[in-house]
Amino acid sequence: MSTAVSPLAPTNVPELPPLDGVKLATAAAGIRYKGRTDVLLALLDPGTAVAGVFTQSKCPSAPVEWCRLNLKGGKARALVVNSGNANAFTGKTGRVATALTAKIAAKAIGCKPADIFLASTGVIGEPLDATKFDGVLDQLAEGAVPGGWMDAAKAIMTTDTFPKVATATVKLGKAKVTINGIAKGAGMIAPDMATMLAFVFTDAPIAAPALQSLLKAGVADTFNAVTIDGDTSTSDTLLAFATGAAAANGAPKISKASDIRLKAFVKAFNAVLANLAEQVARDGEGARKLVEIIVDGATSKASARKIAMSIANSPLVKTAIAGEDANWGRVVMAVGKAGEPADRDKLSISFNGIRVAKAGARDPSYNEAEVSKAMKSPEIQIKVALGLGKGRDRVLTCDLTKEYIAINGDYRS
C-alpha cells in the first residue's frame, strides 16, 4: 500500500451511516501486510438478498468461482474479504482455501458455507493460507458492530492510497432507505463488469433477481467505463446486498427491477456506483491527472465506447497527459486504431473545452499557450467529435507516470 495519498483524492469524504441489517468488523491476520488490517467481515441479517457481477477474465480467482456458484441461492449471511493475496492462479489449493474460509466463517456465524461470500485481492499465484482465518473470524463475528465503514474500506486496500466510500439516502415508497458502498482498486483496472473489489449494501427490501438486474445495468456506464491500465483483473467482484430491514419502516417489498417505485432508488444506486468508480480512477497508481474522455458523433454508443477505451488505454495518450502536452496526434492515432467507423476529415478534438483539431487538421484558431495552460489542470477532458452519427459515450482514466512503473516494479518485492 502506498503511503502518499493521491493528489486526486476526494476532498470531501462522507460519513457513512449505520445500515440496518449490516454489522462490520476488521482485523490484522497477517495475510501479507504487517501492522495493518487485512480482513473484513460483514455480518448480514437472515434473509439478506445478494447479487453480483464478476470478472470476464478466462483465468478467474478461486473466490470469484466460489461466489458465482453460490450466487444462485440468492441469499447471504456474511461477506469475508482479505487483502494481500488474490487467491488466483492457485489451482486446487485455492479452491480448498475458499472452502475452508467459508467453513470457518459459517461456524463462527452459525450458517451454511454457501451463505458466505468471499473476495480476495493482492498478489496472484501465491497460495492463501486460510488457517490464518481460524480464530480471527470468531473474534470478528463476536465484535461486529453497526457502522465502521471507513475501517472496512481501509481493510480491503492494496496499492490504494485512500479508502473509497460512497453513500446515498432515498425514499422507497414512503420510507427512507440507505445505500452504502465501499471499493478498492488502483491498478490492474480495465473492468469487464466491475472494478477489482466493490461492495454495496442497502436496507431496501429488494429480491435477489431484481437486485441482480439493477446491478448488471448499473455497471455499464460506471465501473465498466473506467480504465487505469487496460488490464482486466482475475479478481473483479462487485457484490450488492439488500437486507430488507427497511420493510419494518414501511418500505414496499420489490420483486421486479421494472417496478415503477424503484425509479428514485435506481438513480441513487447508480450514483453510488458512479462515485466509487470515479474514486478508482482518481486513485490510479501514480496518477496526477483524472481524465474524462467523451466521444460523440459515432455510429453507435458501442462504437463510441470502443473508441473512447482505445484513447483511454493508450500509453502514448496517457504519458502525453502526464507531461501536460495536448498531443492530439496521439488521440488521432488511438481513434484510428480502434477498428470502428471514423472519417479523418470529419474529426475534431478538444482538450478542456479548447478545440485543437477540426475537420482533420489543426484548428485555425489554435493557441499553444492557451492549451498548455489548460493542460496543467488536475482534471483533463478530451472530447472527440466524429461527425458520423448520434452515438455517444464517456469513460474515465488517468495519466501514466513514472510512479506507476515504480509501484508495479516493486509490487512483489
Q: Give the residue from 148, 115, 110 showing the smallest Cα distance to 26.
A: 148
Strand partners, 120: 82
- 61 annotated ligand binder: no
The CATH number given to 290-409 is: 3.10.20.340
- 408 annotated ligand binder: yes
Hey, is 377 helix, strand or coil?
coil
- 327 annotated ligand binder: no
Determine the Cα–Cα distance for residues 312 and 314; give it in Å rounded to an integer.
Answer: 6
From 159, 195, 234, 243, active-site residue: 195
Domain limits, the chain = 22-282, 290-409
Q: Give the residue from 79, 56, 84 showing the smallest Cα distance to 200.
A: 79
195 is catalytic: yes
Q: Per residue of the chain (413 residues), what is the pLDDT tens digit?
A: 446 899 999 999 999 999 999 999 999 998 988 889 999 999 999 999 999 999 989 999 999 999 999 999 999 999 999 999 999 999 999 999 999 999 999 999 999 999 999 999 988 999 999 999 999 999 999 999 999 999 999 999 988 999 999 999 999 999 999 999 999 998 888 887 776 799 999 999 999 999 999 999 999 999 999 998 888 888 899 999 999 999 999 999 999 999 999 999 999 999 999 999 999 999 998 999 999 999 999 999 999 999 999 999 999 999 999 999 999 999 999 999 999 999 999 999 999 999 999 998 999 999 999 999 999 999 999 999 999 999 999 999 999 999 999 888 876 65
Q: Give the residue from 231, 300, 225, 229 showing the smallest Cα distance to 270.
A: 225
Determine the Cα–Cα distance for residues 170 and 245; give it in Å rounded to an integer.
Answer: 15
- 131 annotated ligand binder: no
pLDDT number for residue 188: 80
- 413 annotated ligand binder: yes
Cα 135-139-143 angle, rounded to 5 deg:
170
Topology (CATH level 3) of domain 22-282: L-amino peptidase D-ALA esterase/amidase (3.60.70)
Q: pTM of the prediction?
A: 0.94
Q: How many other CB atoms are there within 10 angstroms of residue 3's CB atom?
A: 5
The strand pair at 379-385 and 290-298 is best described as: parallel
- 158 annotated ligand binder: yes
